[in-house]
A and B are shown apart, each in its own frame.
Chain A
Amino acid sequence: MSLLSIGLLYGGATLFAMFVGMPIAFALGAVATLFMIIFMPSGSVDTITQNVYEEMASITLLSIPLFILKGAAIGRSPAGRDLYGALHAWMHWIPGGLGIANVFACALFAAMAGSSPATCSAIGSAGIPEMRKHGYSPGFASGIIAAGGTLGILLPPSITMILYAVAAEQSLGRLFLAAIGPALLLVALFAGYAMWKFRREFRAALAQHKLTGAYSELLRVDTLTVSDKFALLPRVLPFIILLTGVMVALYGGYATPSETAGLGAVLALALIASIYSVWTPRELEPILIATLRESTMLMFIIGMSLLYSYVMSYLHISQSTAQWIVSLELSRWVLLAAILLMVVVLGFFLPPVSIILMTAPIILPPLKAAGFDLVWFGVIMTIIMEMGLIHPPVGLNIFVIKNIAPDIPLRDVVWGVMPFVGLMMLAVVVLCIFPEIATWFPDAVMGAK
């Protein structure tokens, strides 16, 4: 059988197994095993378990459950509410300040928890009702939270970045740092949009008020005393210290990324124990069960995806496809656009982890040959996958929003989210024109590559 037919069969079988609803991990493992049995020497099938174990027993990959534990500990404590309250108190005087406070709260929380849905639900459950109480339209309020939550997969310690580092064999420290500039760009874009949109809604409400006398909550001005503002700080500071402490441990050369994960998890547990008195086994159980559940699901997908790409590479499917793409001699930007389009389409159906591990062996060699910086591309690819978290048909964050604010019609949420998808595309274009936004920071901290 020709290589092309084997490749097509491999891809077709995978799509079939996934779309009939087989769990992603088992579908990948089953297809890989089947092709091992048919097309590879019989000895290779005997080593399948050893293969999966060795791929998974990497300390970098195994830092993922610990980062999830840290996120779950913070996500299930009232830290999100407190963080949100403090930012609101300090920013309410800016036009659209409430919306901007929500964007900032999402970014900070995402950097601590490292998970997109956790951020949405922690900040959104306090933020959406508050914004609506202040007259923000439901779609606008949900758009801010859904989009702000996606920063969780971009900002360190992003699990998506950890996997990309493993798949692309790039430095994790460098990738984490490279994500910071683009994340700030997104925060600025989101905050700028929130301010613009607020002024528009405000003007409309004002005109309506003058015309008909109808009062909108948008027109109300909050007053908070200075002591109100300072009262909220002590609850938030420890988390900000945790965030910076973990980063200092990592970049100051005190700890490896996996040790940072362990340290972060232990510190997060210590913080929720001391600040919110969450420490008994009964109270910790939901945190630990949620962590195990997500880690096991994720690590199974990762282990099986690695087996899947091993088979793909053994049968030369990935190498030939990559060579074929290179031989097309597309111009750099056409190549990039085509690859990103493919990532967008895959993002309709697949979680970021499988997209990265399944496509990396195919798309990275042509990108490298075309002279793209793979650290920079990791950031671009992550932003594209962030879009997948909020655009239909899947958009996980949309469903998280539906969960915390069930009375907002899905249509409003989707329309509220769309402008943010546009802003993310804009960010990708800006990063293509000015790649330094991503590469400058890691070069400054860790030296040029």
Chain B
Amino acid sequence: MAHGLDYVETERAAALPRTAADRILASVNDLVVKTSSAALVAAGFVLTYSVIVRYFLKISTDWQDETSVFLIVGAVFLSSAAVQALRGHVAIETIVGLLPPRVNRARQILVDVASLAFCGFFAWKSWTLLHEAWVDGYHSGSTWGPPLWIPYSLMTIGTTLLSIQILLQIMDEFRRWNRVR
């Protein structure tokens, strides 16, 4: 098992996209990863800028912290599907190695169905939260007070993509299951 905290292997190990849906999602993920990378670096620059203006130019800072929160939260949620595509969300695999291959395939499908149930539920609740925030005009409680639909929409899109990704992986497993039989 890996704790997943390693930079050692970061090869794109995913199987080649097969169906049209797989291919579409793969290119969406690719775009999302590029955007998220840029967002992360941007957050670094925003915080650096914050230090500079406060200490050298003596200007008070208000929007920097929250902007970097939005950028990083967005990057994390949006790229969750791309991480799932590589099975990058770590799991305990101590028992997995001991199971016969057929049982293990069935276990993988069940685990993915359970993951989909949770992520799907989370995505659905994100949509309702986003709707509320949009309709009722939620704002953050800080002095700057940006609208909350911005981060909520990133969370919603991210978890929705994640759910779609798991669904495609389950369909792929079923296809393989049938082929082997």
Contact = CB atoms under 8 A, between A and B. Distances in A.
Contacts of A298: 4-5
Contacts of A289: 10, 33, 37
A295 B5 contact: no
Nearest to A70: B44
Interface stretch (A1-9, A259-267, A425-433): A259-267
Contacts of A65: 40, 43, 72, 75-76
Interface string B141-162: 0000000000110010000000
Given A21-B107, A24-B91, A296-B83, A66 B51 contact: no
A121 B8 contact: yes
Interface in B51-81: 51, 55, 65, 68-69, 72-73, 75-76, 79-80
A196 interface: no
Contact of B118 (A26, A76, A295): A26
Contacts of A254: 51, 55
B108 A21 contact: yes
Contacts of A102: none
Given A19-B95, A349-B92, A400 B6 contact: yes
Contacts of B19: none
B125 A258 contact: no
Interface string B1-14: 11111111110000
Interface in A242-264: 249, 254-255, 258-259, 261-263
B118 A53 contact: no
Contacts of B36: 292
Interface in A14-73: 17-27, 29-30, 33, 45-46, 48-50, 52-53, 56-59, 62, 65-66, 69, 71-72
B121 interface: yes
A394 B94 CA distance: 9
Interface stretch (B20-28, B109-117, B171-179): B109-117
A67 to B, nearest CB: 10
A300 B76 contact: yes
B88 A296 contact: yes
A66 B80 CA distance: 17
Contacts of A118: 6-7
Interface in B93-123: 93-96, 107-108, 110-111, 114-115, 117-119, 121-122
A192 interface: no
B127 to A, nearest CB: 9
Given A21-B107, A56-B73, A349-B94, A263 B129 contact: no
B102 to A, nearest CB: 15
A21 B88 contact: no
Contacts of A62: 43, 68-69, 72-73
A290 B91 CA distance: 18
B31 interface: no
Among B8, B33, B45, B47, max chain A CB count under 10 A is at: B47
A296 B8 contact: no
A293 interface: yes
B48 A263 contact: yes
Contact of B48 (A266, A286, A291, A400): A266
A46 B76 contact: no
B46 interface: yes
B68 A59 contact: yes
A399 B75 CA distance: 29
A23 B122 contact: no
B75 to A, nearest CB: 7
B45 to A, nearest CB: 6
Contact of B115 (A23, A75, A121, A291): A23
Given A121-B7, A262-B68, A292 B91 contact: no
B65 A258 contact: yes
Given A57-B73, A249-B51, A265-B44, A297 B89 contact: yes
A375 B121 CA distance: 38
A127 to B, nearest CB: 15
A262 B44 contact: yes
A265 to B, nearest CB: 4
A21 B103 CA distance: 13
Interface of A: 17-27, 29-30, 33, 45-46, 48-50, 52-53, 56-59, 62, 65-66, 69, 71-72, 75-76, 115-118, 121, 249, 254-255, 258-259, 261-263, 265-266, 269, 284-286, 288-301, 349-351, 389, 393-394, 396, 399-400, 403-404
4 closest residue pairs by CB, A with B: A262-B47, A23-B89, A288-B37, A30-B118
Given A293-B86, A301-B90, 9 more contacts: A22-B115, A24-B91, A26-B89, A53-B155, A75-B7, A258-B68, A262-B45, A298-B4, A349-B92
13 contacts: A26-B119, A46-B128, A49-B152, A56-B76, A58-B69, A59-B68, A65-B43, A65-B76, A258-B65, A262-B46, A295-B75, A300-B80, A399-B2
